[in-house]
């Protein structure tokens, strides 16, 4: 169990550009997110894309939260909580504006790193 936590922490602290490319919504780029969010606001064709990606990120964060809750070896790890959807999406909007070529796997790992840092976990 401790090995799994160690691996997760190494991945979270590693450069997101060095991580493997995921399949599915995790490979959706931030530029695509920004475009989909514009369409979502207008309820035009393709509006569902941002909802699918948002749900994928939420599932990623919930998986991290569960993993950390099962293996709380450091102070602050057990307190990791995935943000509400509106907060998550606002963070993604900002991140994607600044990193349009990153994919959502990279964005999700960065968000986990920031949330852990807020809890004092390095």
The sign of the CA dihedral 40, 45, 50, 55 is positive
Give pLDDT tens digits for 86-113: 999 999 999 999 999 999 899 999 999 9
Per-residue pLDDT at 25:
74
Give pLDDT tens digits for 34-79: 888 877 666 655 567 778 888 989 998 888 888 877 776 766 666 7
Where do the domains of the chain lie? 25-118
Alpha helices in 14-103 (DSSP H): 30-42, 48-70, 85-98
The token pair at 43 is 């309820």
**What's the whole-model pTM score?**
0.71
């Amino acid at each position: 169990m401790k090995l799994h936590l160690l691996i997760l922490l190494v991945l979270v602290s590693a450069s997101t550009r060095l991580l493997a490319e995921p399949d599915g919504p995790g490979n959706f780029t931030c530029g695509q997110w920004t475009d989909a969010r514009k369409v979502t606001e207008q309820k035009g064709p393709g509006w569902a894309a941002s909802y699918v990606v948002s749900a994928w990120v939420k599932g990623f964060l919930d998986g991290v939260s569960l993993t950390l809750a099962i293996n709380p070896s450091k102070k602050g790890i057990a307190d990791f909580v995935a943000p509400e959807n509106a907060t998550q999406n606002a963070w993604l909007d900002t991140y994607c504006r600044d990193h349009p070529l990153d994919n959502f796997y990279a964005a999700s790992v960065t968000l986990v790193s920031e949330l852990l840092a807020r809890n004092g976990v390095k």
